[in-house]
Every structure is written in C-alpha cells, then in structure tokens.
Chain A
Amino acid sequence: MELFLYTALFSPLVGSLFAAFFGASKKTKIAGIVPSALLGISLISSFILLISVLTTKETVHVEMMTWMAAGDLYIPFGFVVDQVSVTMMMVVTLVSTVVHVYAIGYMDHDKGFNRFFSYLSAFVFSMMVLVMSDNFAGLFIGWEGVGLCSWLLIGFWYHKESATWAANEAFIMNRIADLGMLIGIFLVYWNTGTLQYEQAFAAMPSLEIDVLTWIGIFLFIGAMGKSAQFPLHTWLADAMEGPTPVSALIHAATMVTAGVYLVVRASPLYDLIPSVGLFIASLGAFVALFAASMALVNRDMKRVIAYSTLSQLGYMFAAAGLGAYWVALFHLMAHAFFKALLFLGAGNVMHAMDSELDPFKMGGLRKVMKGTFVMMTLASVALAGIFPLAGFFSKDLILEVAFVENHYIIYSVLLFTAGLTAFYSFRLVALIFHGEERYKLFGIHPHEAYKFMLIAMSPLLLLAIIAGSFKMTYFEMVTQLLPATEYHVHSSLTYWIMTIGTQLFVGLAILYAYKKYTSRDIKVPDGTSKMENSFGYKLLINQYYIPRFYEEYIVKAYRELSDIFWTKIDQKIVDATVDGIANVFYQTGERTRVMQSGNLSTMLKWMVAGTVTLLSLAVAFGLAARYSGEIKTFLSGLGV
C-alpha cells in the first residue's frame, strides 16, 4: 500500500515539474496532457487506497524521512492514509483530474499554457501534502504550499493589475491567519512535546482547559484564513480574477475547504472545548447568511458562485463546530462536486461570451449551449438541496444537526440561508440561460465548449447527482475515526414536516427566482432603477463596504505609517541623531582649529590657559584626596 501512497502523493509533483520544464518554451499540448495523465494515476492510486481502507479498515502510515530535528523537536515527513485523509484525497484527485482535462481545452489559446499546468499540478501536490501529513508541521507545509500556488494562479494573468492585486491580497490575508496557525502549532508543541497528530491528541485530554481553548482558537484562526471566514473573507471574491478552472479547483472544491479539514482533523481537540466549537458554529452560520446576502445582488457570475462557496463553507463550519465532523466532511465532499461543476459551467459560458461576466448581458443561452445548460442547472439543483441530489443529503443533514443539538437560532439562520441559496443560484441560471437573448445587443456570437470539456465535466455531474447514495458507506468508514453521532429528529412527524417544509421553501425560492428573472422585461441595469438606489442594494453590492473599509483604514494607514517611519523617524530622528553625534566631533574639531593657527602669540596664550587649568585641577584633586573622609561624611549628610 505504501507504493500507492507515494504514487498518489508524488505523481502531481512529477507532473508539475514536467510542465515546468516547458515553462519558458512555446505552448505545447504535451505539457497539459502528461500532468493530467499523472493526476489520473494519482486518482487511481487514491481509489485503491480507498478500497483498501474500506475493506480492511486499516490505515497506512509511513515516515519518509526526518525533516527538522532540534532540541526535543522532531518533525518527520510522515504521511497517513486514514478514513479522513482518504476521503479528502479522493475529492482532491478527482476534482483536479477533471479540472486538468477541462483546462486543456479552456486554456487552449493562452500563451501561458505550460506554466498554467505546472502551477496547477503543484497545487494538487501541496493539497495532497496538506491532507496526507501526519503532523501539524507537514500540514503547514501543504497549507503554505497551496497559498503559494493560489497566489501564482490568481495572478496568472500578471499583466492585469486587478489580478496581481487580488493575488497579493489573498496571500497577505492568508498570512495573517497563518500566524494564528503558527502560534497554535507552537502551543501544541510546548504543551504536548510533539507535533504528531496521534501523540499530540492523545496528550490533550490531560491539559488544562485554558490551554486547550487557546490552541483551539489559534488553530481556528488559521482555518479562517484559508476558508475565507469573516472577517478574512474579502480575498475569496477577488480571487475570481484567476482563470476559471482555478476557481473551480482551488477556490471552490479544495483549498478553501482546508480549514474545514483542519477542524475535522483536530476533532479530538475541539471535542474537548465545546465553547470554541459553538463559536465556530455561530460564525459559520453567520458567514452562511452574510455571504448568501451578497450573492443576491451581485452582477458578476463568478463572484456569485464565490459567495455561494463562502456561504457553503459556513454550513460546513456550522456542522463541524457542533461536533458533527462527519457531516461537515460529507458536505465538503458533495459541495466539491457540484460547486466545481458549477464553476466549470461558468467557464464555458465565459468562453462563449468573450469573457463577459455580467449575467444581465446574457440570457437565452440554453439554445446554443445545451450541455452546459443541463449541467449548470443540475448543479444548481444540487446546491439548492433538492431531493434526491447530493446537496439534499449533505445540507439537510446540517440543518438536522443544528435542530437536534437544540441550536435553534443557528438552525433558523441556516434554513433561511437555504432559501437564499436557491434564489441566487436560480437567479443566475435564469439570467444566463433563459429569457431574452440580450447578448445580441453586444454583438457576441456564443458557442458551446469543446465536446471533451463537457465529457470531462460529466463525472462531476454524475457525482453531484448520486453522491447522496454513498452516505451510509461513507458514514461507516469515517466514523472509525470521527465521533459516530447519528443525528435523528426524535419524532418522525417533526422530521417529515421539517424535510418537506424545507423542500417546499427551497422550491418556492427557485420558482420566485425563475419568475422574476426569466421575464421579458429584464434589461441590463444602468443604475437608474429604484431598486439599485435603495440602501439595501447599495449595501450588498458594495459588500457591506468592508473592502472599502479595509482599503481606507488598513491598507492606506499601513502605507502612510510606513512612509512616516521611513521619512520622519528613520531619516529625521534615528539617522539624524547618529549624524548629529558625529557632527559634534567634527564641529569641535573645526572650531578648535583656530588654536593651531600657527600664530605664536595666540598659541602661547592657549598654552598658558592650559597650564593654569591643569594646575588648578591638580590642586583641586589634591585637596579632594586629602579631605576625602570629610567630603564623604558631608555628602552622606546631604543624603547623596
């Protein structure tokens, strides 16, 4: 099994290096095909490992080599394939294989084709390190690695100012969270003496609750950055500047779920500190609603999906925070499938529409893009949580968890958000695929994507439909490792009311969206309508003015403070003091130069003055020495 582990882990790296080899040369198809094939191999290996874990219930644990050893610290490159990591491995390799194949078509005309695949495969490698490591330091390697690849890929079109700005924003914001993570790691080390998951978690129950709480908080701060939780969420929407396959893979299916993975992985810790768990759940519920509200009005197709991702991450955290780790992980998996599908569909639409992102400028595309239309609709149905698609099983389960655990506020927020989710998803579908063909006004001639791209997407479609049926198998597998709490609403009547009620609510939201946005009256908004001038709309379209707040009060302040530090403090105070001291010597020399004028009479005067001074000093000291006893008593009398 070790062979499969290494194959699964390292074939993306080989693929990345292979593509990097062609980095500076002209675009060549092979730089895309080979990494994709290698990812396929990684997928197969992961699948074999999954089967093995399922059948034998045994985990694979290897220690490749020592990384760092100093003092009592010992960190190996160790990897573990257990029920949790194998789930993540399947999600990562599956989605990335699909995205790689898709990207061969999507990036077809791009100059940086080879470079793109090098980065993308490097990302997969980092993600695999993240999920497979058996210790916190290894996790951190992957954690920063995906951050790097995310930076490279968001800023992939580096000639665009907005893209590079977004890349830097993402990196720096993640770094802020990473500091929290790092401190969490330090705390784990100094309190348990190790960074290996197994030993560290085993030592935790004997620690004081305060320490555990701090560990939990700091690790979660790390998770907040990667999973773009409030208030570190602004980078995710801006990250949509990257090529769409990147958004599908990194900013929907895999990297942003790393935070959820961390909380799930650290479940033995979070089980000990339910208060932190409750905070996580509340924040998750808040973000779910908060992000969904921004998705309601946004006029950028990719940003809507990004906010939707953010909102769904909130759901996952809500589940994980309430201790339903397996539910969170299940939603993570299901979400990865339908959200990646949605993004890839959006990519097709973008290609068809010459990179236009405003859905109001589309409309009626279902006639020319049948395949994409079907896929995106089904993905939206899955996202909305309609039976029997994947979202129903995973998302309704989270609602049930909140209900069963008696957190009714969280429950109602999540329920309400489910309605919003359905609304904005179908607002998008309606605007893009139904109604008038508004794109004709802009002289665009849309076309369907390559066949093989649609075929590449089909595994995701299949999984978005049937993933729910794996629920029991999955449950039995991961609960070997995670707490096996089943969440059943006690009375079956309540259960049915809840389920049917939710379905009805969501269904109505969909119908409303359809009705509102398929009508013939939809025009490209020009900022004059009443709705666009209402306070609520302005608040939402400006993302609650948070990005502006950050820009005005943090970015600008930092820049200005830096300038002050440099021009005022460093040059005018610190350096000027040094030069001032030097100047004192220099000036003294300059001034006293006149003594050495060579004029005999002046120099004689100075000589006499010097002699007098020396003599009087000698007398003074002589007297002082003679009467030192008296002087001392005198001084002590003065209290010196």
Chain B
Amino acid sequence: MLDHILSILIFFPALAAVFGFAVNKNSIRSYGVAVATIEFVLALWLWFAFDSNVSGMQFMEHIPLVKTFGINYIVGVDGISLFIIILSAFFTMIGIASLGEIKDIKNMIVTLLFLQMTMAGVFAALDAIVFYLFWELSLVPMLYIIGAWGGPLRIYASVKFFLYTFTGSLVMLVGMLFMAYFYYQATGEWSFAILDWYRLILPESFQLWLFAAFFMGFAIKVPMFPFHTWLPYAHGQAPTIGSVILAAILLKMGTYAFIRFSLPLFPDASVYFMYPIAVLAIIMIIYTAMVAYAQKDIKQVVAYSSVSHMGVIILGTFALNVEGITGSIFLMIAHGVVSGALFFLVGVIYDRRHTKYMSEFGGLASVMPRYATIFGIMLMASVGLPLTINFVGEFLSLLGFYKQSHILTLLAGTAIIVGAIYMLAAYKKMFFGVITKEENRNLPDVNKRELIALIPLTIITIWLGVYPKVLLGPINTSVEAVVGMMHEKSLTQEAKSRIPNVTKDVEVVTNLAENPAENSQEEAH
C-alpha cells in the first residue's frame, strides 16, 4: 500500500466525494469528517514512512499516459512538498469538522473533498502536464465555493478569481510546451517529466523567456503585486471555509511552483530576475501592509496581510541559498497555519454578528475572553513573535536574503514593523475599549465546534515555533539538493557566485542537453 500511498492520497478523497452524493443528508457531516480524517491519517503515515535523510523523490509512481509525447502520470514527494500535502489534508479535516450551519452542506463537503484531491495532486505531481491538470482543476471547486456560498458580490468575485488565475496559467502552459519542445530538441525524445527537465541545461536567453512565462502563472497565483487584486474580492466574498483553504493551501501553489520549477530549471534566469522580483516582494510587503492598515473590514485586513506575508516567502525563495529557501518553505507552512487560523477566527465573529466591520465591534475581550486569547496568540504569530511558527520562517527567509542584498533586506525587514501596525490596530479596534454596541454585550464565546479547528492550530503554532526542527530537517535536506543542482547547472559567473556551492552529497547533474548547452557555453565565455 505504501508504494501507492500518493495515488491513494490523491484519489481517495475524490472517490469518496463521488460516493458522498449517495450518502444521506443527515449523516453527510460524519461521513465527510471520517473521510477527511482517514486522508489525514494517511498523510501522517506518509510522513512516518518518509526517510528524511534522502534528498530526492520518494514514493514515486510512474504510469505512462501519452507515450508519443512523453506525458506520464508521475508522482512523488520530497521534503519540499511533503509538509504542504500534510497541511492540506489537515486543513480539509478541520475545515469539514468545524463547518457551521450552512445551506447545501452535502455539496460543500463533496466540493471540499474534491478540492483536497486537486491540492494533493498539485503538490505530488512530477509531470508538468499532470501538474497543470491539477493546478487548473483546483480552480473549479473554489469557483463553486465562492460562487455558491459567497457574499453579495460572489459572482463577480468568483469569475474574477477564475479568469485571472486561468489567464496566468495559460501563459505558464505555453512555457511548459516550449520546455518540452526544447527537451525534445536536445534529446530527441518528448518528456514532460520534471525530473527529466532538471537535467536540461538551457542557455540563459531561453531561460529568461521561459522564466517569464512560468512567472505569469505563478505570480498571479501567489498573488504577487500587481497581480493581487483578485484576492481581496475572493476572500471578501468567500465563505469562511473557502478563505481558509484559499489562504492556507491554494496560495502556496504559486510559491511552491517557484521552488519546484523556476529555481532548478532556470538558475541563471532566477539570478537575473532576483532583484526585480525582490523589489516586487518588498512592494508586496510594505504596500499591502499599508493597504491592510486602511481597511475597515477585518477579513480584508487578514486578506491583505496574506499578500504581505507572501512577499516574505517570495523573498526567501529568491535568496537562492539554503537558509532562505528552507525558511520560505517553512514560512509557507507557517503562513498556512496562521492565516488559516485567522480566517477561522474572523468566521467565528461573522457567524455571530453577520458583519465584518471592525467599527461594529470593540471591547470584545471582556465578553469573549477565550476568543480574544486565541486571536491574540494568532496575532502574535502573524507579527512573527519568536517561539511562534511564523518567526522561524520569516527569520530564515530574511536571513537568507541578507546574503544577497543588505539594503533590500533592510527594506523587507520593515515587514515586522508594518505587520505589527495593522495587526495591533485591528486587534485594538475589535477587542479593546468598552462595548459600545448593544448586540455585542451577550455574544457567546467560542463553542466546541469552533475549538475543534482552533485548538489544534494554536498547538501547532507554538509547537512548531519552539521545535521547528521536525520540519526543518527534511526540508533542509531537499533544499540543499536543489541549491546544489542550481549551482551545478548555472552558467553565468554571476549565478555561480550568487548561488552557493553546497555539493556535499548531491549527485552531479549530467549534461544531457547538447546543442543548447554548447550555445550557452559560448555565451558564458
């Protein structure tokens, strides 16, 4: 069973979702929880069986789909993807378990299970076409969640979300086709397998174009400034569970893809574009943090804060050294946990008051002390207090990028200031002061169903903040391999010096690409 665990992880929830249609409406909730729990246990088993000393792919499966064009069903995990897969199973589980009273609960649970399939698929896929399929499929359930359960502007928001990200992905698809074509030119064989692509050394000029094509797809997904405007609408209109999954997992597809595709495939282009991207990341950090500060709606604050934090992740990724990339992957997990929890928390108050305007609250700390405490812990995690999960990621990301640029890191470091400003201001507006609105006087504190989601998230937030080593170990091993490969593959002097040489136990990458490699050699000299 362990040989096929990844396929099981991917297709079990989808299969269960299909059967879910036949389940009685009254028992669908227990059914959903049961399926999601099994999925999560499987994910934990994957972790347990995972060998953290191996840097390469594990549990690989290989089924040919279209032989002529080298399209195969290939899946596998390494330290980079492992924890995001576990996190997605985890969020699906607590998301379903803590679902409130909503209409069409059956459809919601079926949709969530289907969504879980696409998420597991994206992070496990090692074939570009399969990756692309899951990547695009993940839009469908989300479109449905926003469009069917969303707020008043749901149609606009969901269409915007779909079209915007879809447009970016199409450019990415073109990039993938070109990549496969270059592979064909170099080797005489078609292949969409990422691991095959890793062995291809492209001349810098090709890299730049392909990098840009992939960038369009990833950047919109992250979302990077200035492609971020779909996100506030999507979050603003989506129901709680939609926002949670979107922030916690779906956004990570973009940053994950940067590490899976852009860095190892185009090391020289990554170095070439490092500064422009870092500048974008810094704009994301500061600008969106300021926009977050101007918001009146607490959900929008959290939504914009997401963009701001994603900026730090991007920065860590483009540190191009082990510290930074490890930090950025850790921060993906951390941000997933924390922003997911924050969206849950916003949902708690929305369920009670049916408004998200901060001016409607004030003084909540005295009526809902438990809620205020958990919100406070998540607030502190969000501003990156040490011994919370976010700090580890932020610290490592910024530390890594410091090697590349002092000034830019100093600017990006303002994240810890601007982040504190909007979060503390929001917390003050909601929880401090005296109660002014009559409706707030008798609000019930968090209930058991909500605690099902919030307590595990709180525990993880502190546990991984104190003991991040469990995650950092496997991540570090795989990242070292990636960085080693990037250093080996890079052609320009600039790239060689920017990407550190960490060849400890990394296998030397063989040069399969004859013609382009020769071209590039000439260019390099």
Contacts and interface: CB of A to CB of B under 8 A. Distances in A.
Interface of A: 23-24, 65-73, 137, 140-141, 144-145, 148, 151, 155, 158-159, 161, 164-165, 168, 171-172, 175-176, 178-179, 182-183, 185-187, 189-190, 558-559, 561-563, 565-567, 569-570, 574-575, 577-578, 582
Nearest to A581: B167
B163 A582 contact: yes
A179 B291 contact: no
28 contacts: A23-B373, A24-B370, A65-B467, A67-B466, A69-B472, A70-B476, A71-B476, A72-B322, A73-B396, A144-B391, A145-B387, A148-B380, A158-B365, A158-B431, A159-B432, A168-B428, A175-B383, A179-B416, A183-B406, A183-B413, A186-B402, A558-B290, A563-B294, A566-B291, A566-B294, A569-B287, A577-B226, A582-B163
Interface centre among A67, A171, A189, A563 (most CB of B within 10 A): A67
A569 B291 CA distance: 10
B421 A70 contact: no
B399 interface: yes
A183 B396 contact: no
Given A68-B469, A69-B473, A158 B386 contact: no
Contacts of A69: 469, 472-473, 476
A217 to B, nearest CB: 12
Nearest to A186: B402
Contacts, number: 145
B433 A161 contact: yes
B372 to A, nearest CB: 9
B291 A562 contact: yes
Contacts of B421: 172, 558
Given A155-B432, A178-B416, A574-B226, A73 B291 contact: no
B365 to A, nearest CB: 6
A161 B431 CA distance: 11
A563 B295 CA distance: 8
B293 A68 contact: no
B89 interface: no
B15 interface: no
A69 B399 CA distance: 13
B399 A186 contact: yes
Contacts of A72: 322-323
Contacts of A190: 402-403
B433 A164 contact: yes
A65 B468 CA distance: 11
Interface pairs A-B: 8 shortest CB-CB: A71-B322, A575-B229, A566-B294, A562-B294, A70-B326, A186-B402, A164-B432, A141-B386
B409 A186 contact: yes
B469 A66 contact: yes
A179 B414 contact: yes
Interface string B35-61: 000000000000000000000000000
A3 B255 CA distance: 45
Contacts of A140: 386
Given A71-B322, A141-B386, A190-B403, 19 more contacts: A65-B467, A67-B466, A68-B392, A68-B396, A70-B322, A70-B327, A71-B323, A72-B322, A164-B428, A164-B432, A168-B425, A172-B417, A175-B420, A179-B410, A183-B413, A565-B287, A565-B290, A570-B291, A582-B160
Given A67-B468, A68-B392, A158-B433, A73 B294 contact: no
Nearest to B369: A24
Contacts of A182: 395, 398, 413, 416
B229 A578 contact: yes
B366 interface: yes
Contacts of B228: 574
B385 interface: yes
Given A179-B413, A565-B287, A582-B163, A70 B396 contact: yes
A68 B475 CA distance: 12
A175 B294 contact: no
B348 interface: no
B432 A158 contact: yes
A175 B293 CA distance: 16
A66 B468 CA distance: 9
B164 interface: yes
B380 A176 contact: no
B434 interface: yes
Contacts of A71: 321-323, 326, 400, 476, 480, 502
A524 B290 CA distance: 45
B363 interface: yes
B524 to A, nearest CB: 27
B424 interface: yes
Contacts of A158: 365, 431-433
